[in-house]
Structure 1
């Protein structure tokens, strides 16, 4: 399992030097400044590679840009409207340019409007650390009483609606503004400037897009780009919905094992695969993460290893980001299944036998609390998670365990 680390580029408060001291082997990054739908040029890709390859003092870092996260899929492609055909062609050119630069793994998602959704970006834990949290009642208060989405009442149980009204009534205007800002933070690149009217406009665009139609659009997209990726020796991997259940009336199509199996069967190419995110998928109690790694492992091209603690047994419920080994997902079993898949691939002679993973998210602890970094991506909290994960797979790989090498 290849240890990687997500880097958001020059604005990231975690530096290349920090990553080197964490002992990572490769870097996960993206050209976030390039507008979605535009081509990632060879020059822009090379510039990012050069940044990753140097420490602050100019010395070589020895690190390479190994995984793209994400090469974004435009809303036009997801809706098959506007410039979607041009965006698909631009996506193919970007794949060509990434392949020419030696980058083989490309993560993407097909979530409408919101890349991820949380109600709290810095929720305080009993030990003083902070983490991200999704509170179902707070989200209902946002949807029903702040956004005032038409028809939202039908999406929530009566008890949750009543709790949301009480919660909203107890909030100050400042509390409501923070909640709205936190939810909107999941809009790519829009955390600081999207208004509620903008969100409503996005939702209106999806009013007639069902889950079946969105899945068909994903299959159409993959039918176009997967052959290009296969020819180039690339591995595309789709990230699951986060969280993996319905929000704001939007369709969700990558939330369960059945969702992934349907798409993998529809576009049966080794280049079309899965980003298995144990945190996103783990927010649903009916997702069996070790089993998914076992059954879908042949198409898993990238792993996000993080954990969540669910606060109910409901499919849609509150949860918070837990310690990497401390949530509801059996992380040891997931890693054991991943190592088994690697051994199987190696025996088959697959060049991609080593599956890259990154310690996804982490608690803000120690000096993280003063860094004001990207929510969910602290330096020390992720290093703690990486150390825990590294310990698990080192132990499971040790000859003393009796497991096959």
Structure 2
């Protein structure tokens, strides 16, 4: 958006390649999962906000930096076909920002039973799943099945895992008031973290206070613990020797650089990120630039270290990246990226949060309000800001919505079942 606004008429053509037609504002995923914000309002349609850019839905397949040439695979043009088309693109300057993907470990049963939390689709699916488990627990007469349905395990105590668990626990606790045979105390929430503290991206004090807040809400926080396996029957085994049944296991145990970078032939670090200098230029490729979670950028405020893969750096690197692309286009000198962390903020549900700003700690409603104010300011476009603000205002006036729309995940299931019944009747 910054590059689009600062280009002179006819100066350059900007092509944006992405597998999806929208950008997701990740900090609001937890609120989308809890139903506090409409999921459509945490995504920004690319073609709407980038009218002067060429938007191509596709994935990078081949990159030839020496020729300044890329090959992009396109989605299959017709339903039922499997072979995508391909588009060849020549460029003068290239900016790579594919971000990160979930880091999946070879834990037995994880691939079959785990639920991710990196996209708005996964957030909506998880919300529906949690509410479905309450319905199942209320209806079943099997005590073992009931307990498994009411047990929710989150693996990974970073921003994503902690925020998602806190928001969903808050929502589910509220939802229990509509069930005659389920109390909030019947729900079991477990947060499993392999490290010695949660929220390792933040200051130690924020992690400590967040742990206290969660434990005060009867959430079982297991530090220094790993997931060992997940059985077909839902049996969860942890490294501390504990075993229990759970029908919900959410995997948020870290991220890794997008694997597409391995096909670029560019310089990568040990984590698979693009090695960049302080101006965000990829080392050894003068015409290639990078930013965000996929880029290993030297942190000039902490000599010898690299910028953490978080939104605070990503949104600021984006601004510098746009300016440096313009500088390269106009034969000017690029600027170095430099940003000193101002602190961290975490929302833990409605009216709950923890924050640390320049040595000052905030807790409860004040931290929660600050979280909303900061991210509302950062949310792209005035349209999305207004819609999210309206969601919050409406939520403050009316009660929470706790209906599950699980049929959205398989919209043709009802139609297909009717066809099956009709065939049987014949």
Q: TM-score, normalised by structure 2?
A: 0.29
Query: Of Structure 1 and Structure 2, which has the larger fraction of its residues in helix?
Result: 1
Compare CA radii of gyration and give the structure with the larger one. Answer: 2
Q: 1 or 2, which has the higher strand percentage? A: 2
